[in-house]
Amino acid sequence: MRITSFSDVSLRLLMVLCAASGEELPTTRELAETVGTPYNHVSKAALKLRQMGLIEAIRGRGGGVRITLAGRNATVGGVLRVLDDHSDVAACETAAGECPLAHGCGLRGALNQAREAFYASLDDVSLDSLSKKPQGGPVSVTLSTRPAN
């Protein structure tokens, strides 16, 4: 099971923003640098996360991006259910067209059930809890990339 790169970037943004102190808001460009992803990808992910109400953009001097309460409480499973690719786990195609076993194939449904179990196993994992892991966790960055004014 593999999540899409869009989901991965989105989860990274949420973890970084959960870990941010809140005193100095990072810009989207700074976030792109922090998560090591091109700005245009981060910008698209940030737009979607804003539409989902998980982050918000604060305008004006000192403005930037910050996590909302909903974003802090969001779970990895919940976010993935919205963002991830919901096509069948198996492509069910061969070079000649549809898989010859497609009619009456039980594997396809079993694989899709396994994906649901994968999401369900992440339904109790909040983004906030991930960002607080002391060492070796996914977020060990500080958001201090903004140049001093």
Shortest reach from residue 111's CB to ligand SF4, in Å? 6
Which residues, 108 to 137, sit near ligand SF4 by CB under 6 A? 108
Shortest reach from residue 96's CB to ligand SF4, in Å? 12
Among 57, 82, 92, 141, which residue interacts with ligand SF4 (rule: CB under 6 A)? Answer: 92
Shortest reach from residue 101's CB to ligand SF4, in Å? 4
Longest CA–CA separation in the chain, Å: 65
- Candidate segments 28-36, 44-52, 63-71, 94-102, binder of ligand SF4 by CB under 6 A: 94-102
- Candidate segments 18-26, 30-38, 40-48, 98-106, binder of ligand SF4 by CB under 6 A: 98-106
Per-residue three-class SS string for the chain: CCCCHHHHHHHHHHHHHHHCCCCCCCCHHHHHHHHCCCHHHHHHHHHHHHHCCCEEEECCCCCEEEECHHHHHCEHHHHHHHHCCCCCCCCCEECCEECCCCCCCCHHHHHHHHHHHHHHHCCCCEHHHHHCCCCCCCCCCCCCCCCCC
Which residues, 66 to 85, sit near ligand SF4 by CB under 6 A? none
Shortest reach from residue 107's CB to ligand SF4, in Å? 4
Interface residues toward ligand SF4, by CB under 6 A? 90, 92, 99, 101-102, 105, 107-108
